[in-house]
Amino acid sequence: MSFTRREFTRQSALTGAGIALTGAVGALATAPGALAADDPEHGRDQGSGNGRGGGHGHDRSPGYGPLLPDPEGILALPAGFSYRIVTHSGVTTLETGEPTPSNHDGTAAFEGPRGVTLLVNNHELKGPRAKWKYPVPLTDGLVYDPAAAGGCTVVETRNDGRTAEWVGIAGTSTNCAGGSTAWGTWLTCEENSDKAGQNGMTKDHGYTFEVDPYDRRANRDPRPIKAFGRYDHEAVVIDPRAGHAYLTEDASGPNGLFYRWVPPQGFRHGRGRLRTLADDAGVLQAAKCFDRNGVFVDDLSRATKTGTVYGVDWVDVPDRDARTVPVRKQFGQLDVTRGRKLEGMWWGDGGAYVVSSYARDESPVAHDGQVWFYDPKRRTLTLKVLLGVNPDPSVDGAFDSPDNITVSPYGGLVIAEDGEGVSHLFGATENGRTYPIARNDLNVGTADDPRFSEFAGVTFSPDGKTLFANIQTPGILLAITGPWKRQPNRPRTADSATDTGSSS
């Protein structure tokens, strides 16, 4: 049954401000220029900060203290923390002896046998293979398009530091983010929609593929999940109860869309089942939002205060494979709601956390990052994190341009920055305070013109003891350990459901 504007407006009138704080993480905000929702516990605005400021008198201070410069010039961490390099493009090698591919991006961690952690690591390599020094090797049987440079590797890492790495999929393009599934696989997303014949490609791109870290044979003969649509994919999560997939699109001119895929009646998720779907299976839809007064919202940047709630309708995509017109251009200005740089997602607390990295001239209102929470039961999007425009990204202290994201087992969110200037991993607590976790000290520019690559692939090990993250350029996968502690106002970290239900 459709959740109509009239129903949402009536619900808003009945519940008043209480509807503005759905989800587990509460209203989060960060400096500079962030706007925090009223604190329901203390009855006043919580303000903003960069993790160094004070708070309510009885609150424990969030975070782990200041970041200490790394003598090795790679990763600044708080006192008591350490890191080790798991893979390093051009330095470490695969089982075959070939070099680790470059441009690490989205990553997921899976529990292996006897203390082993299995990581599936995206490599965001766009265009023909000749463009890249370290493309993903074309391993026999695992290649989709032999002209494309991207793909995924699977990394087996042990507590004693021993590591093995092999190809999970090759011949895909611009593997950016993705999402893990409840049945233990990784969905890798192509953030590029070149067709066969464009940029040297021999097959169409812009799809999602499934990679199984446990069974190498399951990855043979890669097949795109065309039912999820062809566009510049960023991330995907799957509702373990209803079976719906939620997907983000990182695109502009016009801005990208937030999608939902509804499986066909009777379909049940499980290992290897997505690749059996017909190209037109289920229904692909785009979000259309409206405020509590029933007024259509054209772009997510319109929200200027955390706690803002939008109702969501879903509009069917006319041509999901975009044979003549890109999917996001198949809708008129009043048909769907757009968002600038819709990036990482994470399923937790019964819904999807969704990142809009930043907004500039392509959007109605400028900001330096948003994190939304989509509640599938209420069909609402709630703004959880809002980052004001950072006036000087070269100065350490403020945070901007969130990209990959994870819900922390110690409370709140852990977010990877993808912006100009200084690059951080940072945390955000439920009560609206942020704190640094790491800073990228690896200068890939010059002394006169320093440049610091983005962080990506932020994810905790299954036991919660290790935080994995990538420095995208040149491509370094890091394992961070230390005295992790529960952060103030700890939310639940994941939905308790483990079933993979069918569509309804």
* pLDDT, position 166: 98
Contact 309, 328 (CB under 8 A): no
Which pLDDT belongs to residue 434? 84
pLDDT of residue 55: 34
pLDDT the model gives residue 488 = 79
Output the pLDDT for position 489: 67
Q: How far apart are CA 201 and CA 194, in angstroms?
A: 7
pLDDT for res 179: 97
Average pLDDT, the chain: 87
| Cis previous bond, 32, omega within 30 | yes
Please report the pLDDT score of residue 159 as a whole number: 83
* Residue 328, φ and ψ in degrees, nearest 5: -65, -20
Q: What percent of the chain has pLDDT over 70?
A: 85
How far lies 49's CA from each of 115, 303, 398, in Å?
Answer: 38, 20, 8
Question: 137 with 78: CB under 8 angstroms?
Answer: no
Q: Distance between CA 210 and CA 219 in Å, rounded?
A: 8
Q: What is the pLDDT of residue 420?
A: 87
> Is 5-481 a CATH 3.50.50.60 domain?
no
Low-confidence ranges of the chain (pLDDT < 70): 1-60, 431-432, 489-504
Q: Which candidate, 411, 437, 412, places its Cα nearest to that of 424? A: 437
For 56-69, write each residue's pLDDT tens digit. Answer: 334 467 899 999 99
